[in-house]
Amino acid sequence: MRSQPRSAAADALTRTAGWAAVFVVLAVSGWLVGSVLGHGLQEVSWSFLTSEPLDAGRNGGIGTVLVSTALVLSVCLGIAVPLGVGAAVWLSEFARPSSRPVALIRRSLDLLASVPSIVFGLFGMVVFCQELRLGFSIAAGGLTLACMILPLVVQTTFAGLRSVPDELRLGAAALAISRSTALRHLLLPAALHGVVVGVMLGLGRAAAETAALIFTSGYVTRMPESLLDSGRTVSVHIYDLAMNVPGGEARAYASAAVLLCLLLIVNVAAAVLADRWLRHQTARVS
């Protein structure tokens, strides 16, 4: 009987500690976002979003930088998402979970996910820029980022697929529904939220990357004419303005505010699209 007040006190302590942790996390995030938007949004205008950087970025805008960023991220996601989802599907649905190759691949992915981005940058420079002769280019930068986020996409998609109850697989198999049909109509839709989270995390990491891109896509600010042109992404632009350009802080904040808003918009759009697609899938008359 004496333990009851003690357990109530422990519960209260746990609850308070939990709330405190949530408060600290929210406060730090809010401070960070508020500071960036507060300092940066006043510089953001339509001409800032559409014009070319001038005077090493102190003047002008980030139009060409945004185009380069979009191209680098498109190459990155265009390679990483199909490869990552395909690998996760194989690992989850076709390979024997306890087999040695699967254990080896999963361990390699864990290892790759923890490799610092500068190492990927050096790898990208040697393999894509030099060996494959892509030079400092958007293609080389996108491919390097694809290698970097691939483990993340595989791991989150794999986790999403494994969280689908086995009853669904057995139910489909008992009706002689093929694995490919079950994957397309039942398993991948059920795992879609996991896939979207993985892709968004990967996108966030890729969009925030600087070290790997300085070595691979370069930092030229002019408008790229093809994927083989060099291009500067927003994160590289922010780094350059903050570190190398005296008087560039205001434009660095403005660029950071734009990057933050873009990531927020893409995240919300992906979640809304995934929900709509799922609703459509549920009700679609075959």
Minimum CB distance to another protein smaller for 189 or for 204 = 189
- Taking the complex as a whole, the smallest distance from the CB of residue 174 to another protein amounts, in Å, to 4
Q: Which of 186, 206, 196, 183 is nearest to 157 (CA)?
A: 196
3-state secondary structure of 171: helix
Q: Which of 29, 74, 108, 181 binds another protein (CB under 8 A)?
A: 181
Within 265-284, the residues that bind another protein by CB under 8 A are 281-284
- Write each residue from 130 to 169 as x if it is in contact with another protein (CB under 8 A), else as -, in one continuous string: -----------------------------------x-xxx
CB-CB neighbours of 135 under 10 Å: 16
Q: 13-72: which residues touch another protein (CB under 8 A)? A: none
Sequence-ordered list of residues with C-beta below 8 angstroms from that of 109, at least 6 positions apart, any chain: 151, 154, 155
Other Cβ atoms closer than 10 A to 100: 8
Q: Which of 131, 175, 225, 226 contacts another protein by CB under 8 A?
A: 175
Radius of gyration of the chain (CA): 23
CB of residue 99 vs another protein: minimum separation in angstroms?
9
Beta carbon nearer to another protein, 102 or 127: 102
The residue range among 92-100, 146-154, 224-232, 260-268 that interacts with another protein, by the rule CB under 8 A, is: 92-100
- How far is the C-alpha of 79 from the C-alpha of 81, rounded, in Å? 6
Rounded-to-5 percentages of helix, strand, coil across the chain: 80, 0, 20
Binding site for another protein (CB under 8 A): 96-98, 165, 167-178, 181, 185-186, 189-190, 281-286
